[in-house]
Amino acid sequence: MGFLNELVKAKKRKKKWAVLTAYDAPTAEILEKAGIDWILVGDSLGMVVLGYPSTADVTMDEMIHHCKAVRRGAPHAFVIGDMPLKGVEQGPRQALLSAQRFLHEGRCDAVKIEWNNSALEIVNRLIAEGVPVMGHLGLTPQTAAATGGYRVQARDAASALETLRRAKALEAGGVFALILECVPAAVAREITKSLKIPVIGIGAGPTCDGQVLVLHDLAGLFSKFTPRFAKRYCEAGRLIQTAVQRYAAEARSGKFPRAKHSFKIDKEELRVFKGGLHGG
């Protein structure tokens, strides 16, 4: 309750949250050092790290494995574990067990749940058990295939009002924040104004209380496609490729390694070693 009040107060003070995904220890460490507000171990893991065609393929074991790594890299960060479809599709009882795994095994501080037909019931169950929950509305990739594909949501008045209704229901249910993905900026602005909790946008315009991006989109590490809402802040993929090409050329030409990359043996030990080489 204290945490939720703090967030509501921070929103009133017009705090803006910067949220990013991470899936492993070294990048989590970078995010923590950079002072990111919250780290989301998103089920985008499936696409940007594990090479699945969609996020729906990610398993609970995979999510927990990566949450553990993130926590090792960022021991002090606020880490949110994303409940994958396979961890919630059987309803509230399964979702509670999954959420508890995120908190206890994955050492997350909270979980996130994408909207689905049982999302409200799941949120109620989790909140009753003391699990901090973040909601996710708008484009919900886990169910996108069944609900019209990967496109901008809430583009007509009826679905914009329905999104607002769901947002309010999630807030009333006790979620501490909400992700709003791929909705028109003007709709996101009204939803953000209507809620007391922070609304974190992704493809939802500049007036949300914060932003979230997939690290691999921001850093140029995922080349299959870049969503229109993502901004690339660097081309780490290209940098790594160039470094790998230089390394391969030097390894082949003998330019690498040099003496400074090698280890020495005492002269006398070497003499004895060489003497013993052909002595059996």
Active site residues: 181
Stretch that binds ligand KIV, among 10-18, 38-46, 156-164, 167-175 (CB under 6 A): 38-46
Instruction: Determine the Cα–Cα distance for residues 144 and 76; give it in Å rounded to an integer.
Output: 34
Instruction: Determine the Cα–Cα distance for residues 163 and 228; give it in Å rounded to an integer.
Output: 21
Residue number with CB closer to ligand KIV (79 or 214): 214
Where would I find the H helices in 83-184?
85-88, 92-104, 119-128, 157-173
Instruction: Determine the Cα–Cα distance for residues 245 and 222; give it in Å rounded to an integer.
Output: 19
Residue number with CB closer to ligand KIV (32 or 217): 217
193 Cβ contact list (under 8 Å, min separation 6): none
Burial category of 167 from C-beta neighbours within 10 Å (exposed 0-12, middle 13-18, buried 19 and up): buried
Tell me the helix, strand and coil percentages in the chain, rounded to 5.
Answer: 50, 15, 35
Instruction: Determine the Cα–Cα distance for residues 181 and 165; give it in Å rounded to an integer.
Output: 16
Residue number with CB closer to ligand KIV (128 or 146): 146
Residue whose beta carbon is closest to ligand KIV: 42
Q: Is the peptide bond before 92 cis (omega within 30 degrees of 0)?
A: no
Residue number with CB closer to ligand KIV (91 or 229): 229
99 in Cβ contact with 64 (< 8 Å): no
Q: Which residue in the block uniquely carries the two structure tokens 């690498």?
A: 256
Q: Does 217 bind ligand KIV (CB under 6 A)?
A: no
Q: Does 73 bind ligand KIV (CB under 6 A)?
A: no
Q: Does 62 bind ligand KIV (CB under 6 A)?
A: no
Stretch that binds ligand KIV, among 8-16, 39-47, 239-247, 271-279 (CB under 6 A): 39-47
In whole angstroms, what separates CA 171 from the centre of its chain? 22
> Quick one: which of 20, 21, 31, 87 contacts ligand KIV (CB under 6 A)?
21
> Quick one: which of 37, 43, 62, 209 contacts ligand KIV (CB under 6 A)?
43
Residue number with CB closer to ligand KIV (233 or 247): 233
Residue number with CB closer to ligand KIV (84 or 130): 84
Q: Minimum distance between the CB of residue 203 and ligand KIV, rounded to whole angstroms?
A: 9
> Quick one: which of 27, 44, 116, 153 contacts ligand KIV (CB under 6 A)?
44
Q: Does 119 bind ligand KIV (CB under 6 A)?
A: no
Per-residue interface string for the shown chain with ligand KIV, residues 130-169, x marking contact by CB under 6 A? ----------------------------------------
Q: Does 211 bind ligand KIV (CB under 6 A)?
A: no
39 in Cβ contact with 214 (< 8 Å): no
Q: Does 179 bind ligand KIV (CB under 6 A)?
A: yes
Nearest to 159, CA basis, from 139, 136, 130: 139
Q: Which residues bind ligand KIV (CB under 6 A)?
A: 21, 40, 42-44, 82, 179, 181, 202, 212, 214
